[in-house]
Amino acid sequence: MAHGLSDPEIGRALHIGEATVQSHLLKGFEKLHVGDRTAAGRAIALGIVAAPRLYPTAASTASGA
């Protein structure tokens, strides 16, 4: 989401269904106390929450994370 991907694109990247993506997003919105992607994006832009990495970094795969 933070990378501008649609729900179907996120689902394909994570090998999960679109409904599962939507479910996880809604739970994340609840935790952030926001109602939609725009508000969640603002929270990321303001540094309230860190933008997630879509793919693991070389350092995290080397350490076994």
The DSSP annotation for the chain comes to -TT---HHHHHHHHT--HHHHHHHHHHHHHHHT-SSHHHHHHHHHTTSSPPPPSS--HHHHHTT-
By CB atoms closer than 10 A (0-12, 13-18, 19+), residue 40 is buried
Residue 60 domain flag? no
Residue 1 domain flag? no
Task: Supply the pLDDT for residue 4.
Answer: 79
- pLDDT tens, the chain, 65 aa long: 656 789 999 999 999 999 999 999 999 888 888 899 888 888 888 888 777 666 665 555 555 55
Residue 64 domain flag? no
Residue 59 domain flag? no
Residue 47 domain flag? yes
Task: Supply the pLDDT for residue 31.
Answer: 84
Residue 29 domain flag? yes
HSE at residue 42, side-chain half, CA atoms within 13 A, is: 8
Residue-number span of the structural domain to which 33 is assigned = 7-51
Domain count, the chain: 1
Residue 36 domain flag? yes
Task: Supply the pLDDT for residue 1.
Answer: 65
Task: Supply the pLDDT for residue 14.
Answer: 92
